[in-house]
Amino acid sequence: MKMLKTTLAVLTAAAALGAVSTAQAGATLDAVKKKGFVQCGVSDGLPGFSVPDAQGKIVGIDADVCRAVAAAVFGDATKVKFSQLNAKERFTALQSGEVDVLSRNTTWTSSRDAGMGLMFTGVTYYDGVGFLVNKKLGVSSAKELDGATICIQAGTTTELNVSDFFRANGLKYTPITFDTSDESAKSLESGRCDVLTSDKSQLFAQRSKLAAPADYVVLPETISKEPLGPVVRKGDEEWFSIVKWTLFAMLNAEEAGITSKNVEAEAKGTKNPDVARLLGGDGEYGKDLKLPKDWVVQIVKQVGNYGEVFEKNLGQSTDLKIDRGMNALWNNGGIQYAPPVR
C-alpha cells in the first residue's frame, strides 16, 4: 500500500509538472503577439551585422534575421524593435526577458548552450578568430606576433582563443580589453595596441570604419571555430522552433531558387512539390509552428532568402566585400545546410 501511495504521488507530481510545462509552452510567442512586435538584441554597432544607417535604421544580417522572425509571426517584417547591446550585456538581456531573441554575432559554445539557460537556434554565419594589423607592423603571419600588444573586446570567446593560440605556439603577448568593439578598433588606429583580434567578420567590419582602411590587413590565420547564430531562452521550445525554422526557411528558399522577386509567383504556380511545401501550397507545415500558411512567403518577400540577405549586407556589393566561403550553400562549396520542410 505504501508503495502504491508513493507511486500515485509521483504520478500526480509528474502530471502537475506536465500541466505547468504545457501552460508555459509558447509563453514567448504569446507575449510577442500581445505586445505586437519582436524585441531583438543586436550588437552595439557592427557593420554588416547590425548597425544604424544614416537614417537611424538598424541594418545588417543579424537585424534581418529578426525581421524575418517578425515576418513569419506577423506577416510584417517591420514589427520588430532593436536593443543595442555590448558583449557583457547581451546574455543578461536575454535571460531577464528584456529581449525575445538575441541575434548579435554570438558564438555557439557548449557552456553557453548548456550552462546559461540559453539555446542556439542555428548558424547565421560561420566564422573564426583572426588578427588585424597595420601594414607598417611588417608581419604577414600571426606567428610573428611574439611580444605584441593586442586589443580584445571583453566578455567574448576571443579572450580564451587568443590565450590558447599564443600558449600553443610559445609566444607572449599583452592583452588590453575594452567593453565595445569600437573602442578596440580606435585603440588599434591610435597605436595603443599593435593588433586587433576578433572574429574575422568583425575585423573586416571594423577595418571599413577606420580612417585609412587600406593601411590595415587581416592576417591569413583563422585560429578558432566561431559559429555565430541567434539565441533564445531555454524552456520555450515553441519559440525556439519558430526562430530556428525562420533561418532554415531562408536557406531552403535560396537552395530552391526562391527569391524576393519570384516568391509570390512561385507560391501560386510552382509544379515542384518541395517548393509547394515550403511556400504553403501543399500541407499545413506552418500550423505545426503556430504560424500562418504563407509564413515562408512573407519572410522571403519582405526580407529575402539567405543569399540575398548575405549579399546585401556582407557581400561583394558592400564595403566589406566578404566572400561566401563556408557560408555558401552545401551544394555550392560551403557548409550552410537546412533540414527540409516536410
Angle between helices 200-209 and 181-190 (to 10 degrees): 60
12-21, 32-41, 137-146, 222-231: range with lowest mean pLDDT: 12-21
* Reported pTM: 0.85
Integer CA distances (angstroms), 16 to 21, 25, 168, in order: 9, 14, 52
Distance, CA of 193 to CA of 240 (rounded, Å)? 41
Q: What does the pLDDT look like over 41-86, one tens digit per residue?
A: 999 989 999 999 999 999 999 999 999 999 999 999 999 999 999 9
Residue 12 confidence class, pLDDT cut points 50, 70, 90: very low
3-state helix, strand and coil shares in percent for the chain, rounded to the nearest 5: 45, 15, 35
Residue 124 CB-half CA count within 13 A: 31
Phi and psi at residue 134, in whole multiples of 5°? -75, 135
Asked whether residue 107 carries a pLDDT value surpassing 70, the answer given is: yes
Distance, CA of 280 to CA of 326 (rounded, Å)? 30
Q: Considering 168, 202, 224, which residue would you say is the last residue of a domain?
A: 224
pLDDT for the residue 167:
96
Q: What does the pLDDT look like over 278-323, one tens digit per residue?
A: 999 999 999 999 999 999 999 999 999 999 999 999 999 998 989 9
Is residue 207 included in any domain, yes or no? yes
Which cell goes with 47?
557593420
Whether residue 234 is found in the same domain as residue 217: no
In the chain, the largest separation of any two C-alpha atoms, in whole Å, equals: 84
Which stretches of 75-103 are DSSP H helices?
90-95
pLDDT for the residue 208:
87
Range of the domain at 141: 129-224
Is residue 342 included in any domain, yes or no? no
β 173-178/148-153 pair status? parallel
For 141-166, what is the mean pLDDT?
93
Which cell goes with 112?
553557453
Asked whether residue 16 carries a pLDDT value surpassing 80, the answer given is: no
Whether residue 53 is found in the same domain as residue 108: yes
Is residue 35 included in any domain, yes or no? yes
Q: What does the pLDDT look like over 198-254, one tens digit per residue?
A: 999 989 988 988 999 999 999 999 999 999 999 999 999 999 999 999 999 999 999
Is residue 264 included in any domain, yes or no? yes
Is residue 7 included in any domain, yes or no? no
User: Can you tell me whether residue 36 is helix, strand or coil?
Assistant: coil
Whether residue 50 is found in the same domain as residue 184: no
Whether residue 98 is found in the same domain as residue 246: yes
Task: Provide the number of structural domains found in the chain.
Answer: 2
Residue 182 confidence class, pLDDT cut points 50, 70, 90: confident
Whether residue 250 is found in the same domain as residue 117: yes
